[in-house]
Amino acid sequence: MIRRSIDRSVPTLNTSSLPDLIFTVLFFFMVVTHMRQVTLKVRFRVPQGTELTRLTKKSAVSYVYIGRPSEAVPGIVQSYKGITVQLNDKYATPEEVTTYVNAERKAMSGDDQEQQIVSVKADRSTPMSLINEVKMALRRADVRRMSYSAEQKK
C-alpha cells in the first residue's frame, strides 16, 4: 500500500472583510448614539425625596434648569433674587419656556411627541412663584407630563 501524506493543518482564516465589518458597526453606533449634552450654567441642589421613580424614555425628556448662575455674566436674565432659568445652553425667562418646549416637541419623533415629559431640575431654594410661572408656561405649551428632579433622601 502506498501511503499518502495527508496535510491535516487548519486553513487560515480569511480576515479581509473584517475592517469592513468593524467600520459598519462603528458607523451604526455613531448614528444611534445621542451625544448632545447641555453645559450647565446654573448651580442647583435638587431637593430630597422618598418616593422617587426614574424616567425611562430619555429621548422624550426635555429639561428645564432653574438655579443661581454659576458665574457672574453681565446681561443675563435674572428673575427672583438672582435665580434664573436655563433652557439648553442659554439663559431664559419663564415666558420663553413655552416656545422652547414647542420647538423641542417638533424636533422629536411622532411617538416621542405623545410621550413628552418636561423635567424641571430646580434648586431647593427656588421660590414657588418662579416654579408656578414655569408651570403656567408649560400649560400654555400643552405639556401633559411634568416631573421634578430630586435625590433619594438618606
**pTM attached to this predicted model:** 0.72
What pLDDT is attached to residue 133? 94
The pLDDT value recorded for residue 74 is 61
What are the backbone angles phi and psi of residue 85, rounded to the nearest 5°?
A: -105, 140
Planar angle of CA 31, 40, 38, nearest 5 degrees: 15
How high is the mean pLDDT in each 10-residue block of the chain (154 residues)? 71 85 91 77 87 84 91 63 87 92 91 90 92 95 92 86
pLDDT computed for residue 97 by the predictor: 94
- Determine, yes or no, domain membership for 14: no
Q: How many domains does the chain have?
A: 1
Cβ 93 vs Cβ 132: under 8 Å? no
Domain coverage including residue 86: 42-152
Residue 28, domain member (yes or no): no
Strand partners, 84: 67
Q: Is residue 30 part of a domain?
A: no
Q: What cell was used for 39? A: 453645559
Among 130, 150, 149, smallest CA distance to 78 is for: 130
